[in-house]
Structure 1
Amino acid sequence: MTGSYPTIGRRTSKSGYLDSPACTRLSRSATHQLYSMLSAQDLALLQKTLGRDLTDVEVACFENLWSEHCSYRSTKPLLKTLPTEGDEVLLGPGDDAAIVRFSDTCALAIGMESHNHPSYVDPYEGAATGVGGIVRDILSMGARPIALMDPLYFGPLDTEKNRYLFEQVVAGVADYGNCIGVPVVRGELVFDHSYSGNPLVNVVCVGIVDPDRYITARVKQPGNHLVLLGSSTGRDGLGGASFASRDLAGDTEAASRPSVQVGDPYTEKLLIDAILEMAETGKLLSCRDLGAAGLAGASSEMASTFGAVIYADQVHLRETGMVPREIMLAESQERMMVEVAPEDVALVGRIAEKYDLGWSDVGEVISEPRYIVKFHGEVVADLPIDLLVGGAPLCSWEKEPYSAETPFSRPEAAVKDLALAVLSHPDVARKDWVYEQYDRDVQLRTVSVQNDAAVLRLEDKALVFSCGCNPRHIYLKPFEGTANAVIENASNLACLGADPLCLVNCLNFASPEHPEVNWQLEQCVLGLGDAARRMTIPVVGGNVSLYNESDEFGTQIKPTPSLGMVGRGDVRQWTAPAKGDLLALIGTTEPDFGGSVLDAVTGCGGHAPAVADPAIVAVVRDLVREGRVTSATDLSLGGLLAALVKVAPQADVTLTGDPLEELFSETYGRFLVAVRDEAALAGVEHRIIGRVGGDALTLRLKGETVVITPEELEAALSSTTRRMRF
């Protein structure tokens, strides 16, 4: 499973293995082996079902395909609660990527994936291969990849290890994306102690395809051949799926390094061109990326509606002496598998050779529902295919609610000092050092990457991108925080006049064996589904990444249901307000300090925001579309202060309420807009707070006036860049 939720309603065996007892976690010592032992319950179940002992190849297949990463053992029932259908959804969860109609002649392929554990062990290769994998997920649908987003989450930059991880992850994303010519147009950066020892590297990719000609990953007919294309198979990435399904507690980089794949973006670019040319012939009947669980994962999932025979000795190899287990489970990158009729094998081979790509005719679709692997004539695996794919017993963990909010304690520092501290926080400060490494204009579709959403020109319309979430809010209120993440991403699109088309997600959590983490997971998925239904935004795919914790740093990540959202609107570039424009605040401010940036820099505590009213999003979207506002931005990290600095760093602003609440509260469902005349906001509840212009940001507060000069703003906003000078 490489990035989409498992298909609902798959066949079950008469042996009843789907109803088996909940699984037991692998022992910590066992998980540190290259091939971890199956749990005692799983092994006993398999032996009973098969009536025999398993071969080493079969054990390796089950270890990986029954892992959390591939089988969603802890989350499958929850994922079924999400709204996945919509008027524009042509293909929902269950494939390598979803297909969503953009116009009568263009559809989007969209997916989201995580590469968290590999990016801790080898941050450059882990991030690079994460990009490569999600791009191939899009490619496998017959779609041309056109854009990437990268929500990234790291520990504080005051430690050398975190700075190293940050630098190398960004370099890995940038180098791979730049080399294959797919722009990274949007991203998010969050810094929090909980990610020390376990950074999160999430990637969204969007591609375009004819709505009548996309390819799926399920084989179509017995007798067809399975052809492996791309790089040679080596030993890199062995056990990657099972590795991605465990925590890094007590791990060492050397022990886990064999589980990290090594990428080659130049081969990936050739593979993109070759697959698209093959797709144009109409001869590709199905296609799948070789991601988690390698050849075993791709071929068994492709053939799960029928069956397959795989000839492991026919795979083109990079290394000599590889045994069947290694050939089947290696996660070497830049590989794809396609289904073609026997008479078309030579055609795809010629196209592969045209692009200097290796290829092998490695298997055949059979009518019997079995998964058979042969090596030099010997059968090394023979399994019921529905037992291997979709047959993993579900895990059931205890849940325990908690309350983490604390009473608000008013900071004693001066308002100006607090303001500069908030603006200096790396979540708020300028990220130029990162964004400048990405070629955001390649493919010549990019219109705007300013403010909180990116705009690409697609046909005569705009394709608009937003991503991310607020883990500090979500930790305090998992349901409300996740619902607000949906609303906040839709708000980013609204500021550019776009309607959401769909969203995808990466559900990143610590071990679900901790009752409080399992409760977080449930509440986040329910909050995601509730907000998506209220806003009629289908959740078309995603990924679950669990066991994100580290003994080395004593950390468990905060719940991080990171989102990627795309929308459609008219082509427009985000613009800053002009001198003399009025600044207006739309929406109601509450004293929401818990989980805020102010809380992060002072420890002030307080309540996290309640779920915002999503109706306000449509109001602002209409204002933008009708040209009634000259500029709009939503209020999120850093509250009104951060929005003012972003939109109007030189302005005269008067705020009559409590200064801390006015400046630093992070209540959702609020927007800062600029207008030429207040009459433009007729019929919309608002508050005029100031005017653009002047030599500084002047804040006329209750009881005092605070002036922040351009030099002071620059010093605060560039603080993150200074920390990244290695």
Structure 2
Amino acid sequence: MAETSRTPSQLDTVAVATQDPEREQPWSDLGLKADEYARIREILGRRPTSSELAMYSVMWSEHCSYKSTKVHLKQFGEIPQETPVGKMLAGIGENAGVIDIGQGYAVTFKVESHNHPSFVEPYQGAATGIGGIVRDILAMGARPVAVMDPLRFGPLDEPDTHRVLPGIVAGVGGYGNCLGLPNIGGEAVFDQTYLGNPLVNAGAIGVLRHEDLHLANATGLGNKVILYGARTGGDGIGGVSVLASETFDEGGPAKRPSVQVGDPFMEKLLIECTLELFAAGVVSGIQDLGGAGLSCATSELASAGDGGMHVELDLVPLRDSTLAPEEILMSESQERMMAVVTPDNVDSFMEICRKWDVEATVIGEVTDTGRLEIDWHGERVVDVPPGSVAHDGPVYERPYARPEWQDALQADAAEALPRPASGDELKQTLLTLVGSPNLCDKSWITDQYDRYVRGNTVSAQPEDSGMVRVDDETGLGVSLSTDCNGRYAKLDPYTGAQLALAESYRNVATGGATPLAISDCLNFGSPEDTGVMWQFAEACRGLKDACLELGIPVTGGNVSLYNQTGETAILPTPVVAVLGVIQDVAQRTPSHFRAAGEQVLLLGETREELSGSEWAHVVHGHLGGLPPKIDLAAEKALADVLTTASTEGLVTSAHDLSDGGLAIALAEAGFRHGIGATVDVSGVADDAFVALFSESAARVLVTVTDEQAERFTALAAEHGVTVTALGRTGGDELVVEGAFSVPVAEVKGVWSATLPAALG
């Protein structure tokens, strides 16, 4: 390896730091506060070296340390760690949560954010978001089997949306497709508040046997620390750890760290190599290198293990020989992993890496010193307690308060807005909504993703949830859905977070899967704003209470703060992913009409709930009032009905009601096969408009054959779920008796045209 341009005599070593304690250091430029810098000096009993300062700055960043949110996130630990079918094998604090799904299988899943990097460099920001979440899954010992991408953009007609959206979609698809991983779900939502701050959340699922579970720790005195995968470069120095920890300025990109550059083909080799290393039993501990790079991997492995590690930093393979030690420690170059290996397994480890053409280097070993010690060309540049870097960062109890404007916002109810009355007006409202950016066909996006590679995808977009087969013989499968309506969360963050969870929960159940657990990606504005912190605190409280009532745990997740441009914060966006299990994927329930002559039934109660609705947003540009009421007992009962109905083959389709209400659900259910329906909505609500466009929760549209109708109705009654008969499927029109009729093909044409017309 070539020598760095910085000679050892110029290094800021531990000895030098002890000798010149008053040297000025750029702690503020690295994102540290004065009190944080003072605390580092107190921990070390001296000033930090430049390398130590680099490590603390990235590991104590908002993105890595959760210093503003720990006090609220800890309440998730109050939720029992049992699921409806088994136990949680690994949870909060690990790379990803791991859930027992039966038959000796476990599933690991997680959602993370790559928001700010994707604004600066859309393609690479989104691509490396997929790469990072996949390595989190891999690090648990699992084979990654699918990915998802909840996305948020500014208005569809804005020039900057046209800049970021194509690149982000291409990055998600390009990286995931090259890995051979199907993209089975997600969202694409448009709102003014995301202009200048798009949200790129990435989710992944992995499958493993119970005995294959691996954890991130460095134990065993004398065990070797091996860095393997891609070489370390200057891309992503500081990367997401710094980039995601401050607010964007109005003027656009300014002084920002470089965005990581991904190589999916290297990651594919890394995945297969790592899985073979696991199978060979030569790995004692493992950690992926994501945010904060080597700073994170070394400190977290050491802190979670026996507490000591020694690393020779000059042994790290570099793409750029001019990198200084602090830059190597901060680099977030992609496609890298770190393993702890017993000395007798090193040769076997290296042989497997050579087989897959993956570079691997022993860079250190586990010690019993209780210190993380890093040398550069024989000079000690880091000597710290690893826990102080990895886990003992600052904890802020930031002030929070309900915003002064919240009362006025909630008082401005959409229920008072002018609404359509005639049949023609109702029909036009349907066409307007179905072609709106948030409700229109997302095929322009999803067609860029391979949704069926590997052959185990059972359902994907535009189904309510994604589903993959886990076991070919038994048909065991898992389902995953992500959701969040940021408008609901703005109106009431406590209820809004619960509604996000409820919709994902319901989506999983409509396909026939039993909801087991959640992961979350909590996207909010600046924590230095007391109103934003109130939104965050309320959302966390809402999720905890909902999980307690539904009986499902939080396995982990991600927090993304400082999502705002200047003073404009995004809508609070607590994205919730719900994982479910289905014993036989052949029993799944599709979300579209399958045949003519079947009964169309509405499950659940409809109320006049229009505030925060897509109708208020699209037709009136309005946001105000209170979101739909949440009834978690009703959601649970509804899910029980749907999963039982799937197992017994009682329903032929099931589609949840959410944005746009019953009208949109009826339209979408007919698109796949061009099957219409004739319905009477007078039994749903007194007002046809409310019946069609209310967004009341805990509702699902189902179809049943005449032979199964009696049994299904009895099942619903057993669980206290209201059933309203609407009519029958058939023909090629959607007919709402007494109001309007419209050809399914016409509605589908409007639904399909929006994104191609806007994006080409």
For the superposition of Structure 1 and Structure 2, which TM-score range results when normalised by the shorter chain?
Answer: over 0.9
- For residues 459-514 of structure 1, the C-alpha deviation after alignment (integer angstroms, 9 at most, x for no partner) is 12121121121111111111111112222111112112211122111011001111
- For residues 36-61 of structure 1, the C-alpha deviation after alignment (integer angstroms, 9 at most, x for no partner) is 25211111122233221111111111
Q: CA deviation at 1:710?
A: 3.1
- For residues 145-175 of structure 1, the C-alpha deviation after alignment (integer angstroms, 9 at most, x for no partner) is 0011111111111012112211111110101
For 2:367 and 2:103, locate their aligned partners in 1 and report how far apart those are by CA, in whole Å: 37
For 2:206 and 2:602, locate their aligned partners in 1 and report how far apart those are by CA, in whole Å: 36
Cα separation, partners in 2 of 1:487 and 1:252, compared to 1, 3 Å:
closer
1:301-312 equivalent positions in 2, closer than 5 A? 301-304=300-303, 305=305, 306-312=307-313
* 2:725 matched residue in structure 1: 688
For 2:648 and 2:145, locate their aligned partners in 1 and report how far apart those are by CA, in whole Å: 29
* 1:421 matched residue in structure 2: 432
CA contact (8 A) 2:300 2:387 kept: no
Q: CA deviation at 1:536?
A: 1.2
CA contact (8 A) 1:88 1:501 kept: no
- Which residue of 435, 445, 450 corresponds with 1:439? 450
- Which residue of 602, 622, 625 corresponds with 1:585? 602
CA contact (8 A) 2:232 2:320 kept: yes
Structure 2: give runs of 5+ residues left out of the alignment: 1-25, 717-721
* 1:624 matched residue in structure 2: 646
CA contact (8 A) 2:151 2:187 kept: yes
Amino acid at match of 1:259: S
For 1:92 and 1:37, locate their aligned partners in 2 and report how far apart those are by CA, in whole Å: 30
Amino acid at match of 2:700: F
Cα separation, partners in 2 of 1:723 and 1:398, compared to 1, 3 Å:
farther
For 1:233 and 1:422, locate their aligned partners in 2 and report how far apart those are by CA, in whole Å: 49
- Which residue of 43, 46, 53 corresponds with 1:52? 46
Bigger shift: residues 450-459 or 287-296: 450-459
Cα separation, partners in 2 of 1:723 and 1:157, compared to 1, 3 Å:
farther
Bigger shift: residues 384-393 or 203-212: 384-393
Q: CA deviation at 1:411?
A: 2.7
For 2:758 and 2:611, locate their aligned partners in 1 and report how far apart those are by CA, in whole Å: 28
Bigger shift: residues 483-492 or 189-198: 483-492
- Which residue of 698, 701, 708 corresponds with 1:669? 698
* 2:202 matched residue in structure 1: 203
* 1:5 matched residue in structure 2: none
1:253-292 equivalent positions in 2, closer than 5 A? 253=253, 255-256=255-256, 258-292=257-291
1:442-453 equivalent positions in 2, closer than 5 A? 442-449=453-460, 450-453=462-465
- Which residue of 461, 464, 477 corresponds with 2:492? 477
* 1:81 matched residue in structure 2: 75
CA contact (8 A) 2:162 2:759 kept: no
Alignment of 1:714 with 2:727, yes or no, is no
CA contact (8 A) 1:426 1:719 kept: no
Aligned residues: 689
Cα separation, partners in 2 of 1:329 and 1:561, compared to 1, 3 Å:
same
* 1:679 matched residue in structure 2: 710
For 2:111 and 2:365, locate their aligned partners in 1 and report how far apart those are by CA, in whole Å: 30
Bigger shift: residues 412-421 or 522-531: 412-421
CA contact (8 A) 1:398 1:518 kept: yes
Cα separation, partners in 2 of 1:364 and 1:251, compared to 1, 3 Å:
farther
Cα separation, partners in 2 of 1:63 and 1:711, compared to 1, 3 Å:
same
For 1:576 and 1:710, locate their aligned partners in 2 and report how far apart those are by CA, in whole Å: 12
For 1:113 and 1:76, locate their aligned partners in 2 and report how far apart those are by CA, in whole Å: 17
Amino acid at match of 1:637: D
Bigger shift: residues 498-507 or 102-111: 102-111
Alignment partner of 2:416: what SS? coil
Cα separation, partners in 2 of 1:80 and 1:421, compared to 1, 3 Å:
same
1:70-469 equivalent positions in 2, closer than 5 A? 70-82=64-76, 83=79, 85-86=81-82, 87-240=86-239, 241-250=241-250, 252-253=252-253, 255-256=255-256, 258-304=257-303, 305=305, 306-401=307-402, 402-403=406-407, 404-405=409-410, 406-407=412-413, 408-412=415-419, 414-449=425-460, 450-459=462-471, 460=474, 461-469=476-484
TM-score, length-scaled by structure 2: 0.88
For 2:417 and 2:387, locate their aligned partners in 1 and report how far apart those are by CA, in whole Å: 59
For 2:254 and 2:127, locate their aligned partners in 1 and report how far apart those are by CA, in whole Å: 19
- For residues 627-673 of structure 1, the C-alpha deviation after alignment (integer angstroms, 9 at most, x for no partner) is 22221111001100110011136111112221221111111101111
- For residues 174-222 of structure 1, the C-alpha deviation after alignment (integer angstroms, 9 at most, x for no partner) is 0100101111111111111111111111111111112012111011212
* 2:557 matched residue in structure 1: 542
- Which residue of 623, 631, 652 corresponds with 2:678? 652
Amino acid at match of 2:728: R
CA contact (8 A) 1:109 1:207 kept: yes
For 2:38 and 2:469, locate their aligned partners in 1 and report how far apart those are by CA, in whole Å: 55
CA contact (8 A) 1:583 1:691 kept: yes
Cα separation, partners in 2 of 1:55 and 1:190, compared to 1, 3 Å:
same
TM-score, length-scaled by structure 1: 0.92
For 2:118 and 2:31, locate their aligned partners in 1 and report how far apart those are by CA, in whole Å: 24
For 1:84 and 1:468, locate their aligned partners in 2 and report how far apart those are by CA, in whole Å: 23
Structure 1: give runs of 5+ residues left out of the alignment: 1-29
For 2:593 and 2:728, locate their aligned partners in 1 and report how far apart those are by CA, in whole Å: 13
Q: CA deviation at 1:251?
A: 5.9
CA contact (8 A) 2:491 2:625 kept: no
Q: CA deviation at 1:602?
A: 2.3
Bigger shift: residues 338-347 or 128-137: 338-347
* 2:719 matched residue in structure 1: none
Cα separation, partners in 2 of 1:84 and 1:43, compared to 1, 3 Å:
farther
Q: CA deviation at 1:250?
A: 4.2
Q: CA deviation at 1:77?
A: 2.1
* 2:626 matched residue in structure 1: 607
Cα separation, partners in 2 of 1:37 and 1:149, compared to 1, 3 Å:
closer
- For residues 381-408 of structure 1, the C-alpha deviation after alignment (integer angstroms, 9 at most, x for no partner) is 1112222121212112221213322123
CA contact (8 A) 2:494 2:541 kept: yes
- Which residue of 540, 557, 581 corresponds with 1:568? 581
Alignment partner of 1:102: what SS? strand
- Which residue of 497, 500, 508 corresponds with 2:512? 497
CA contact (8 A) 1:369 1:386 kept: no
Q: CA deviation at 1:618?
A: 1.5
RMSD across aligned positions (CA) = 1.7
* 1:63 matched residue in structure 2: 57
Bigger shift: residues 589-598 or 610-619: 610-619
Q: CA deviation at 1:435?
A: 1.2
For 1:576 and 1:462, locate their aligned partners in 2 and report how far apart those are by CA, in whole Å: 23
- For residues 528-566 of structure 1, the C-alpha deviation after alignment (integer angstroms, 9 at most, x for no partner) is 111111111111010111000113xx6311111111222
CA contact (8 A) 1:624 1:632 kept: no
Bigger shift: residues 210-219 or 413-422: 413-422
Structure number with higher helix proportion: 2
Identity %: 39
Bigger shift: residues 363-372 or 97-106: 97-106
Amino acid at match of 2:753: S
Bigger shift: residues 227-236 or 682-691: 682-691
For 1:310 and 1:598, locate their aligned partners in 2 and report how far apart those are by CA, in whole Å: 59
Alignment partner of 1:80: what SS? helix
- Which residue of 567, 570, 584 corresponds with 1:557? 570
Amino acid at match of 1:694: G
For 1:591 and 1:327, locate their aligned partners in 2 and report how far apart those are by CA, in whole Å: 58
Alignment partner of 2:649: what SS? coil
CA contact (8 A) 1:230 1:267 kept: yes
For 2:355 and 2:170, locate their aligned partners in 1 and report how far apart those are by CA, in whole Å: 31
Q: CA deviation at 1:594?
A: 1.2
Q: CA deviation at 1:333?
A: 0.3
